[in-house]
Homo-oligomer: A and B are copies of this chain.
């Protein structure tokens, strides 16, 4: 099972969360990736945690001020990236170009989308994984696996029909081990979460609870 903790722009300590993620991942058979602000990639990667960018720009080396160049994310320790998160939606052509950029920099890719149709579209672009996250559930604490289990099963089927090699993750409202188990039962091979860990009083305890079913 793959777990991605998106730190967004939360006022958490990215290194503390990353250290907890590295420790908890080592104790279980789980990959726990941490996606900090771009400026924090190097510090997060130094903890030994799997490190993801929150986004990379659809550009190559060149005159692109304010971009997040995949090559510099990788040079600072990222081994993967989210693309098209619902808070960072991209044009179709730019998701495609972002995947090209990630491939050049040898980053794993997770393309987010809202519903099974968009999941199929995202899968057609050839990422390593897609993640279905109904925007209306993000940050609610109500897990998608409970609020709308069909959307996860339909997303798994939609991606499978387009490209069976693409992994399907789910997100939105995930915070407990039960949520993670339910996601797996619906066919997801990974989960995305954010506030459930990043805003927890004790991120390590939150992560331990999350992956307990995998121990």
Residues of A within 8 A of B (CB): 6, 8-11, 37-43, 53-55, 57, 59-69, 71-73, 75-76, 78, 82, 84-96, 113-115, 117-118, 120-126, 138-139, 158, 162, 194-195
Contacts and interface: CB of A to CB of B under 8 A. Distances in A.
B93 A91 contact: no
Contact of A38 (B39, B115, B121): B39
Residue of A9, A69, A138 most packed against chain B (CB within 10 A): A9
B115 A87 contact: no
5 contacts: A9-B67, A10-B63, A39-B68, A39-B72, A55-B66
Q: How many copies does the complex hold?
A: 4
The 3 closest A-B pairs by CB, nearest first: A66-B88, A55-B66, A120-B124
A11 B92 contact: no
A40 B76 contact: yes
Contacts of A63: 8-10, 87, 138-139, 194-195
Contacts of A121: 92, 96, 120-122, 124-125
